[in-house]
Structures are given as structure tokens and as C-alpha cells.
Structure 1
Amino acid sequence: MGLATQMIGWPDEFCADLAGRGHYVVRFDNRDIGLSTHLHGAGTPDILAMFGGDASSAAYALTDLAADTIGLLDALALDGVHLVGASMGGMIAQLVAVQAPDRVRSLTSIMSTTGEPGVGSPAEVALPVLLAPAATDREGAIERVIDTYRVIGSPGFEFDEAALRDRAGLSFDRAHDPAGVARQLAAILTTHDRTPDLAELDVPTLVVHGSQDTLVDVSGGRATAAAIPGAELLVVEGMGHDLPREVWPQILDRITALVTRAG
């Protein structure tokens, strides 16, 4: 899953549908989120300094998160997987395919980008979402999630406030670590442009992006599909930076078709 988002960002029903199609589904928390390892000793990075080009306070890079994922495959004794990543998770999935191409049978990159400067950039309205002060209590954390998705969510689909509140509350109960989220953001800001590496991939790939994504502009999805040889691109009209329930069937059908094509 993506920045500041725990594995429960993949809804239970979404995963159950994949499992019902005959797949063994694994979802997991990245480092510094949820029930995964939190690098408390690394402190809080200076995000504003990073926007100015000083990356010295970054605790790790996205390549390290990709190595975590490969380590999980080792621990679960999975030789090859059909990898699906959303947002920051899409960036990580891309890097897993680059770092361990023999382990990735197919790649699905959702609402993500390549790291190329000027591609997939957030809209001006979304910048306050990235830089807003962290919530200090459960209710504040829930309200911040609601406020965030009113900005970056999907204008073409129903705003499911009840589901968002449930997920935000459960996420707070599992773990609340604003410094960890900042360390993840630092990893995104300091990782190199993946475009040349993506051009070398030889893996069946699906790229999914919303036409109304204000956090990662649709140009990021288009650039990802253009960079990976033979990649398919699905632009979902009205979709923003989330996974509206109404688009699940379309996305699940395309993932299933990709997995079938990949053999």
C-alpha cells in the first residue's frame, strides 16, 4: 500500500474477491506503518529541507522498502508472485521488479509514477494534505483522513465517509506514528528516477490511474506505462487517489486477465 496507509488500505472484500478467483493473497504493512517495524531511533526527517535538495535526514530509500518486500517473499518461501502496488506501493512494486525480476510474474502499478521530475506531481490543492500537521488523538486522526480524501478522493464516485471513518479508526488503533509517515515520505522524495530501469523490464504489466487524481497526476501513470515495454494502461474516468468500490470489478477483472496472460 501507499504512503501513510496500512495494509488494511486493501479492503477485505477486494482481497476476498481476488482469493475467490483462485489466488493466494498476501497484504502487508511496509516499515514504519501499522504493525511492521517502526524505526523510532531514526527520528523525524526534515521534509522542507528535502524540498530544497538536502536529503541528509532521510533514514532510508524506496529501494530499502523494495528489499523488505523481497525479504518477505523469502520468509514466505514464494519464488514468484503477481505483484500489485498502489501509490508509494506502486513505486515499491516497480523497484521489486527491477531488483528481483525473476521473482515477479506480473506487475500492477496503481495510481503511481516513475520518479521522473515533473511527472505525476501533486496538484496545488493537494500539497497541504502532504504537509498538514499530524493528528494527536484518535478523533483528530479520523477527521484528518476525511478531510484528506475530500481533496484527493474520486469526484466521479460516491464519497464513502462511513468506510473511511471505520478504516481510519482501525488504523489509529493498530498504530499511530506520524514520524514514521514522514520517514516514508522522505524515502519517496529522495529516490532516483526509475524510468531507465523500467525500460529494461520484461514482465507483463498493467498500469491503472484515475483521470482525476490530484495527489499523483495521471501523467505519472501514463509515464509508467510508456516506460515499461508492452505495458497496458487503464485510465479510470472520475477516479482520484483512492479505490472507489464501484471500480473494483473493472480493476479486478484487469488484474485477473493480466495474471492469466502471464501464465
Structure 2
Amino acid sequence: MPIVDVSPEVSLAYESFGDPEDPPVLLVMGFGAQLLAWHEDFCRALADRGRYVIRYDNRDCGLSTTFDDHPVDMGAFIAAVSSGDLPAALAMVPYRLLDMADDGLGLLTALGIERAHVVGASMGGMIAQTMALSSPERVLTLTSMMSSTGESEYGRPSPEAQAVLFGPRPGDREGYVAAAEKELVWASKRYGDAAVLRELAADSYDRAYHPAGIGRQLGAMILSGSRADALRELRVPTLVIHGLDDTLIDPTGGKRTADLVPGAELLLIPDMGHDRPRELWPKLIDALVAHTG
């Protein structure tokens, strides 16, 4: 798998699908998830519709650069945030969403792509929003999927989903794979499939098991703050997609994003949770093709 330097500090692993002469679509993954979470079949199906599709590992995930020389004590970090000790929290985390957005833009530069359609899911949606806000001249269109605005009152997780997200996960392969079934709490109620979750967990574990990066990514999300004021000024064509079954980022996150961005289109999808079940790929791909046409 290709790995390219996108800055002096960061190298990213990526994979591409389709014809480089087609319109480029950069897929940005979410919190703690490798590029595998953009399923290969999904990427190929989108490429078959005339798009040059690029998926990549964010920093601190998969085969991309890790920041293990900056360990984050999650207990201490959460205590600092909860007590309002922002300087202490800021000092613990070595980067922000803006740095992760610069990574994605740096990947485009390394690939010789001046402008691209940017699609982000969950934390990837936050990164994609930040790309569009920081460098709108490089983002042809923005698609923010199952994401939010950085405002704490929108897109809140259910207590059950939050418990699974922040709960400890076994370090051994068998336990790690079995624990993936807990993610059904935020999956589509109709299409959620434990076998699919276990398969992704197994593939991810075998490819690159790196749990330490999760704390730093979480810190980047929490400390980057609200994008609400900036989103009100965004002039990049924007599509917001959110599943009505989403319990990890409540649909209010998507609705709020669409409310803030001038002219944004909002697509609320029944039977979709905080996942992309194969049964809904035709709807998602149709929407992406229409938006990036």
C-alpha cells in the first residue's frame, strides 16, 4: 500500500480506485477507524460511477504516522476537560483537527490534485468541514456524513453509545474482535450485522493494531471547539447526510450542520445508524454522484 509524506512530520497510507482523470473524491474516515472502514466494495462502486476515489488512514491510525512520543493519559485528560482546566488539557494533546485537515490536503498535493470533492464520516466529517473552512479553494464540494459542528449541545451520543465508545476494549485479537459486537448499539437497527462488525475488527487488528492513537484523536476532536460561526460563512457546496438511527452522533448534529451552512442540502436516511450498511450503499452512492457531478 502506498505511503506518502504529506508534511515533514506526517506520512499517510492511502489507496485509490478508478481513473485519475475522473473527478477526485477524497474519503475521510472517523475516530479510531482505518481506511478499511470505507469498504473496498463501496469505493469500487463509487469509482464505477466515474469518480477517482481515494481513501486513507488518518494520522495516529492504521499505517500512517503515529505520535507515540506524546502519550495521553485519558483519565487525566477527561478530568482536566471536566474541571475546565483547558490549559492542562491543551498541553496533553499534540495536534488538533486543523492539523488532521492539513494532512488530507497534503495528501491531495502529494498526488498532484489541486481540488477535490471531500467526503467525511463522523470525526472525518469534522475534518472535512475543517478542510473546507481552512482551504475552500481546494474543496470542490463538501459532504459531511453522520457528523456535527463541534457544539456540545448538538449531536450528543446516547449514554449507551458513549459507554461503548469510551469503554475499554480487550488487547488480544479474539477479545478485540468479539467486543466489536457492542457497536451494534449505534448501528442501523434494521441492517446492523454483528458478523460485519467482527470482520472489520479482525481485518483492522491484523493490519495495524494501535490503540494509543485513539486518545490523541479524541483530544483533537474535543479541543478543536465549535465550528458554528465559521460554517455560517462557508460557501462550498455542501451535502449533509445523517442516519435517523444514529445514537453515537444524534441526527441533531447533521441537522445543525445543514442549518448553518448556506444552501446546504440535508439528506436524512431512515434505517441508517452510525454506519454505512451495504443495503444503503445505492442510496449513498447516488447522493454522492449527484453532489459531485
- For residues 134 and 166 of structure 1, the distance between their equivalents in structure 2, rounded to whole angstroms, comes to 16
Residues 40-79 of structure 1: pairs in structure 2 closer than 5 A: 40-46=68-74, 47-49=77-79, 50-54=81-85, 55=89, 56-79=91-114
Residue of 229, 243, 250 corresponding to 2:283: 250
Indicate if the aligned counterparts of 1:145 and 1:168 stay in contact, CA closer than 8 A.
Answer: yes
Residues 103-122 of structure 1: pairs in structure 2 closer than 5 A: 103-122=138-157
Indicate if the aligned counterparts of 2:115 and 2:137 stay in contact, CA closer than 8 A.
Answer: yes
Which residue is 1:35 aligned to? Answer: 63
- For residues 267 and 241 of structure 2, the distance between their equivalents in structure 1, rounded to whole angstroms, comes to 5
Indicate if the aligned counterparts of 1:116 and 1:194 stay in contact, CA closer than 8 A.
Answer: yes
Indicate if the aligned counterparts of 1:107 and 1:203 stay in contact, CA closer than 8 A.
Answer: yes
Larger RCO, structure (CA 8 Å, separation 6 or more): 1
Which residue is 1:231 aligned to? Answer: 264
Which residue is 1:183 aligned to? Answer: 216
Of residues 181-190 and 84-93 in structure 1, the stretch that sits farther from structure 2 once superposed is 181-190
- For residues 255 and 131 of structure 1, the distance between their equivalents in structure 2, rounded to whole angstroms, comes to 31
Of residues 59-68 and 86-95 in structure 1, the stretch that sits farther from structure 2 once superposed is 59-68
Equivalent pairs, count: 258
Which 4+ stretches in 1 moved above 4 angstroms?
A: none
Structure 2: unaligned runs, 5 residues or longer: 1-28
Aligned-residue CA RMSD in angstroms? 1.2
Which residue is 1:17 aligned to? Answer: 45
Corresponding letter in the other structure for 1:48: I
Indicate if the aligned counterparts of 2:115 and 2:140 stay in contact, CA closer than 8 A.
Answer: yes
**SS of corresponding position for 2:33:** coil
Indicate if the aligned counterparts of 1:135 and 1:141 stay in contact, CA closer than 8 A.
Answer: yes
Q: How big is the shift at 1:116?
A: 1.1
In the TM superposition, what whole-angstrom CA distance separates every residue of 1:141-189 from its partner, at most 9, and x where no partner exists? 1122111x2211111x222222222211110011112210111111111
Which residue is 2:136 aligned to? Answer: 101
Say yes or no: does 1:154 pair with 2:175.
no
**SS of corresponding position for 1:255:** helix
TM-score after normalising by structure 1: 0.95
Indicate if the aligned counterparts of 1:134 and 1:178 stay in contact, CA closer than 8 A.
Answer: no
Say yes or no: does 1:88 pair with 2:123.
yes
In the TM superposition, what whole-angstrom CA distance separates every residue of 1:209-231 from its partner, at most 9, and x where no partner exists? 01121110100000010111111
- For residues 57 and 243 of structure 1, the distance between their equivalents in structure 2, rounded to whole angstroms, comes to 33
Which residue is 2:198 aligned to? Answer: 165
Q: How big is the shift at 1:7?
A: 0.4
- Counting aligned pairs with the same residue, the percent is 48
Residue of 171, 177, 182 corresponding to 1:136: 171
